[in-house]
Chain A
Amino acid sequence: EAGVVQSPRYKIIEKKQPVAFWCNPISGHNTLYWYRQNLGQGPELLIRYENEEAVDDSQLPKDRFSAERLKGVDSTLKIQPAELGDSAVYLCASSFNSGETQYFGPGTRLLVL
């Protein structure tokens, strides 16, 4: 069975440019998470979806970040405009239901120049 798929794996952009990340969760998983992991630190939750509903987006910087999970399957995370401090690994995870084991994708490494 395929795991969580993320693309692109790497992205280099100049500051003020927009960028988007895509995540395909494990089939049948209702809950989807986006995390940001800064260098040398643990992941921090940005947003959690239950099906297509965002149920926890308290840590999402809403002035420049947006996310969607149309149809409750795939999800995209967008940054517009990107800032230097956004350089990090963006991880997507999914679980069958909230509170159950989370399975992580390989992440997208973003470098903002």
Chain B
Amino acid sequence: TQLLEQSPQFLSIQEGENLTVYCNSSSVFSSLQWYRQEPGEGPVLLVTVVTGGEVKKLKRLTFQFGDARKDSSLHITAAQPGDTGLYLCAGARAAGNKLTFGGGTRVLVKP
């Protein structure tokens, strides 16, 4: 059983559509990170959220940390084929503590 559950596991959409990926846990995290991993590469950090209720935007990507710091979401507006990849959330239970990764959501954006 993973500490962080991501849903859906797989998402296939057409270019221009919106999508949301969820990351849920019963545990409280001091910080939560989102990564994107492309085939044959390691994960690349997209954003870190640390405050309950925090919303961060990165171009067409919007990240939200739940008020109770147990869950997070990633929303992509007008998805493009370049957004295709494996999206991973990872949480730290305390500052400086190790990261626990979710199982990932594989996103495919078709042109």
Contact = CB atoms under 8 A, between A and B. Distances in A.
Interface residues of A, number: 20
A102 B43 CA distance: 9
A102 B103 contact: no
A40 B103 contact: yes
A107 B101 CA distance: 16
A93 interface: yes
A42 interface: yes
Interface of B: 2, 4, 6, 9, 40-45, 48, 88, 90, 92, 95-99, 101-104, 106
Interface stretch (A11-19, A43-51, A70-78): A43-51
A98 B98 CA distance: 8
A42 B90 contact: yes
Contacts of A56: 98
Q: Pick the most buried of B2, B43, B96, B102: most chain A CB atoms within 10 A of its CB.
A: B43
Q: Lowest 7 CB-CB distances: which A-B pairs, in order?
A: A104-B42, A42-B101, A99-B96, A98-B96, A43-B101, A42-B88, A42-B104
Given A42-B88, A42-B90, A102 B45 contact: yes
Contact of B103 (A41, A99, A101): A41
Given A41-B104, A42-B88, A42-B103, A91 B42 contact: yes
A99 B104 contact: no
Contacts of B45: 101-103
